[in-house]
């Protein structure tokens, strides 16, 4: 029971970092980046290779994040900018990139499930007031909290955050007021890709990585966004927690319907609050 | 185009299609069959995308619902053809009615995201609910019903002819539907949903019905797929097959039903020929898809319709008005 809660929290932490990046870039650019799951897995695989060459987990996380950040930049700068304004084509572009990346990953890293070795410092259990918890889970939870707090501070306490929040509400007005909103778009997209890559490496250590995980993670992230509400930071936190717990309890008690159960709260929310739990509803 | 010439043209195409099992090699016949049942799925997609403007990635999910219903009923010897097929179509309509309520609350990109999730859910249930669907092993041993096994001149053509007839009926049915008053209203929703609401049309209900029609066609495709290959496997309804349909329809031109069939033919041909050289042909198909989306968003039929009298045809069929 307790270990299930811990697993749920760990999963929620991972999903939160993935979903919040996707959510912010989605709210700002109005592009559902369907390549986000592919970024996650690509980051994980790059981290795996880095780990094999250098034996440094920290370096693996950084390299994984940087590579996906660059990928996100290339996608935004060279492809999405060409079709800006046409929502459907933007989404289709990200979808085709996701397929190209998915196949590329099978070519480079093969189709077998892989896992990233993590440093001894994080292996083994830790005792927290009578509960035995894996050290890695504690690390992931703290990591997610740190990232969450940093993002929250960035969004709510800095000038950049002001621009981003204003852009979510009305990006035409923001650009009319003299902000280079295109640059903010690209930056946000790259940050989202960077976060996805980082989580890819950490998630690859905690879970397994295999082809098809990119779509699984993307589905979870999209579920969280719809549940929490587009462009809502707090909504992503709550929704990630709900999804994380459904994931862990579902796999324990109803392994045959685990993904189906994850859809249930989303269906309820869609009936009673179509904008999501905390969404303000974007046009 | 002259009426008589048009009918002669149609007749020649029809005769050629009917003669394929006798004239061509088994390989070619198999390919044509494959293209035909996937074309049903493409039509289902193109109907929603082109007429109502909703991009649904859940089309393979309905193929899966129909296919799995037949596979489960027949391997457990509960029901047999034709009752299993009727049950399958009934299941598809029920599933589409329920899903339709959820997805029709959204538009545009949100609709695409929701249907993507929906497709993934159905796929996950097919994969995870192992006690019923047999999980990743799939359900095997579904035999083609005897009705579909008749022979003509020593050649087994029953399945081919019934499929051909279905595809033709569905194609002309959908084309007729797009020209009916209901089709016109759907186009109105595509162009401006708020205006249609303001004019007093029951927009939600019409979108819901359109969603069910699309699901029904995809269900037909599932029936033929499961009877043809005799196996129902989760990989038939994963995201790759949704992408295949999407790519085919975008290739063909999103506003065109005929284009959807042509596009599916192209994609299937590519898949067969490329898979002879490499198993990672998706990269090439995805790259081509990227190219089409970036530089030729209206697809092949979009380019063909630029020719003058084809444009007149296009105006007549798809926009519902003669060009002045």
pLDDT in tens, B283-314: 888 888 888 888 776 666 666 666 655 666 66
Q: What is the pLDDT of residues B139-178, one digit of tens each?
A: 887 777 777 777 776 677 778 888 888 898 998 899 888 8
Judged by CB atoms closer than 8 Å, whether chains meet at B286 and A100 is answered as yes
The total number of structural domains that make up chain A:
1
Kindly state whether A62 is in contact with chain B, defined as any CB-CB distance less than 8 angstroms.
no
Q: What is the pLDDT of residue B306?
A: 63
Residues 133-162 of B with CB under 8 A from A: none
Q: How far apart are CA A242 and CA A238, in angstroms?
A: 6
- Return phi, psi of residue A109, to 5°: -110, 0
Judged by CB atoms closer than 8 Å, whether chains meet at A258 and B108 is answered as no
CATH number at residue A191: 1.10.3470
In a domain, B282, yes or no: no
The helix/strand/coil state of A275 is coil
**Segment (H or E) for B175:** helix B158-179
Q: Which two tokens stand for residue B102?
A: 């959820």
Can you tell me the mean pLDDT for A210-224?
Answer: 86
Residue A117 has pLDDT above 50, yes or no: yes
Per-residue exposure over A130-165, b if at least 16 CB sit within 10 Å of its own CB, e if not: eeebbbbbbbbbebbeebbeebeeebeeeeeeebbb
In a domain, B323, yes or no: no
CB neighbour list of residue B9: distance below 8 Å, 6 or more residues apart:
none
Q: What is the pLDDT of residue B324?
A: 44
Q: Which two tokens stand for residue A125?
A: 């259990």
Q: What is the pLDDT of residue B214?
A: 92
In a domain, A219, yes or no: yes
Q: How many CA atoms lie within 13 A of A111 on its CB side?
A: 4
Judged by CB atoms closer than 8 Å, whether chains meet at A96 and B113 is answered as no
Q: How many CA atoms lie within 13 A of B2 on its CB side?
A: 4
In a domain, B289, yes or no: no
In a domain, B222, yes or no: yes
Nearest to residue B65, comparing CAs of B271, B214, B260, B166?
A: B214
Task: Tell me which residue range forms the domain holding A227.
Answer: 2-113+129-272
> Would you place residue A227 in the very low, low, confident or very high pLDDT band (cuts 50, 70, 90)?
confident
Q: What is the pLDDT of residue A185?
A: 82
- The length of chain B in residues reads 324
Judged by CB atoms closer than 8 Å, whether chains meet at B120 and A215 is answered as yes
> Would you place residue B257 in the very low, low, confident or very high pLDDT band (cuts 50, 70, 90)?
confident
Kindly state whether B235 is in contact with chain A, defined as any CB-CB distance less than 8 angstroms.
no
Kindly state whether B14 is in contact with chain A, defined as any CB-CB distance less than 8 angstroms.
no
Q: How far apart are CA A134 and CA A121, in angstroms?
A: 11
In a domain, A283, yes or no: no
Judged by CB atoms closer than 8 Å, whether chains meet at B113 and A271 is answered as no
Task: Tell me which residue range forms the domain holding B194.
Answer: 24-237
Q: Which of A82, A91, A219 sits opposite B294 (nearest CB)?
A: A82
Q: What is the pLDDT of residue B323?
A: 46
In a domain, A189, yes or no: yes
Residues 249-278 of B with CB under 8 A from A: 250
Q: Which of A34, A103, A223 sits opposite B282 (nearest CB)?
A: A103
Q: How many CA atoms lie within 13 A of B205 on its CB side?
A: 4
In a domain, B244, yes or no: no
> Would you place residue A41 in the very low, low, confident or very high pLDDT band (cuts 50, 70, 90)?
very high
* A274 contacts in chain B (CB < 8 Å): 105-106
The helix/strand/coil state of B256 is coil
**Cα A164 vs. chain centroid, distance in angstroms?**
18
Kindly state whether A104 is in contact with chain B, defined as any CB-CB distance less than 8 angstroms.
yes
Q: Which of B105, B116, B297 sits opposite A222 (nearest CB)?
A: B116
In a domain, A124, yes or no: no
Residue A228 has pLDDT above 90, yes or no: no
For chain A, what is the mean pLDDT? 85
In a domain, B250, yes or no: no
In a domain, B67, yes or no: yes
CB count within 10 Å of CB A228 equals 29
In a domain, B230, yes or no: yes
For chain B, what is the mean pLDDT? 82
Residue A201 has pLDDT above 80, yes or no: yes
pTM greater than 0.80 (yes/no): yes
Kindly state whether A96 is in contact with chain B, defined as any CB-CB distance less than 8 angstroms.
yes
The total number of structural domains that make up chain B:
1
């Amino acid at each position: 029971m307790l270990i299930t809660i811990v697993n749920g929290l760990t999963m929620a932490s991972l999903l939160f970092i993935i979903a919040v990046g996707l959510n912010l870039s989605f709210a700002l650019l109005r592009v559902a980046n369907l390549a986000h799951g592919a970024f996650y897995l690509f980051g994980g695989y790059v981290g795996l290779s880095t780990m094999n060459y250098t034996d440094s987990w920290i370096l693996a996380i950084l390299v994984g994040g940087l590579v996906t950040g660059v990928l996100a930049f290339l996608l935004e700068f060279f492809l999405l900018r060409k079709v800006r304004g046409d929502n459907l084509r933007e989404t289709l572009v990200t979808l085709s990139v996701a397929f190209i990346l998915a196949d590329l990953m099978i070519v480079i890293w093969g189709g077998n499930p892989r896992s990233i070795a993590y440093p001894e410092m994080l292996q083994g259990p830790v005792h927290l007031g009578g509960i035995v918890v894996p050290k890695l889970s504690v690390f992931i939870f703290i990591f997610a909290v740190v990232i969450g707090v940093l993002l929250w501070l960035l969004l709510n306490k800095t000038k950049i955050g002001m621009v981003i929040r204003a852009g979510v509400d009305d990006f035409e007005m923001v650009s009319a007021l003299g902000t280079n909103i295109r640059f903010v778009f690209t930056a946000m997209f790259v940050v989202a890709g960077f976060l996805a890559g980082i989580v890819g490496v950490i998630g690859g250590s905690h879970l397994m990585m295999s082809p098809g995980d990119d779509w699984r993670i993307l589905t979870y992230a999209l579920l969280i966004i719809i549940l929490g509400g587009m462009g809502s930071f707090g909504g992503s936190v709550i929704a990630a927690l709900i999804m994380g717990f459904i994931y862990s309890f579902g796999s324990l008690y109803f392994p045959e319907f685990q993904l189906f159960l994850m859809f249930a709260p989303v269906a309820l929310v869609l009936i009673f609050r179509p904008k999501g739990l905390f969404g303000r509803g974007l046009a | 185009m002259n009426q008589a010439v048009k009918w002669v043209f149609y007749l020649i195409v029809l005769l050629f299609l009917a003669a394929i099992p006798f004239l061509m090699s088994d390989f070619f016949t198999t390919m044509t069959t494959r293209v035909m049942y996937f074309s049903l799925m493409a039509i289902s997609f193109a109907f929603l995308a082109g007429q109502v403007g909703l991009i649904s990635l859940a089309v393979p999910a309905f193929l899966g619902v129909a296919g799995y219903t037949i596979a489960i009923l027949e391997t457990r010897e509960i029901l047999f053809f034709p009752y299993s097929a009727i049950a399958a179509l009934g299941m598809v309509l029920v599933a589409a009615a329920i899903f339709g309520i959820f997805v029709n609350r959204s538009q545009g990109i949100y609709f695409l995201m929701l249907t993507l999730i929906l497709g993934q859910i159905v796929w996950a249930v097919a994969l995870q609910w192992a006690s019923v669907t047999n999980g990743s092993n799939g359900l095997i041993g579904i035999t083609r019903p005897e009705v579909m096994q008749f022979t003509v001149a020593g050649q087994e053509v029953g399945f081919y002819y019934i499929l051909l007839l279905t595809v033709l009926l569905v194609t002309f049915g959908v084309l007729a539907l797009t020209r009916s008053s209901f089709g016109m209203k759907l186009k109105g929703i595509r162009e401006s949903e708020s205006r249609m609401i303001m004019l007093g049309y029951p927009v939600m209900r019409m979108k819901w019905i359109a969603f069910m029609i699309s699901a029904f066609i995809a269900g037909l495709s599932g029936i033929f797929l499961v009877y043809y290959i005799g196996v129902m496997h989760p990989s038939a309804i994963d995201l790759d097959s949704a992408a295949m349909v999407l790519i085919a329809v975008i290739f063909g031109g999103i506003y065109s039903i005929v284009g959807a069939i042509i596009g599916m033919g192209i994609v299937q041909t590519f898949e067969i020929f490329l898979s002879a050289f490499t198993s990672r042909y998706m990269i090439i198909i995805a790259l081509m898809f990227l190219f089409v989306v970036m530089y030729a968003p209206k697809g092949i039929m979009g380019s063909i319709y630029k020719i003058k009298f084809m444009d007149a045809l296009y105006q007549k069929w798809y926009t519902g008005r003669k060009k002045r």
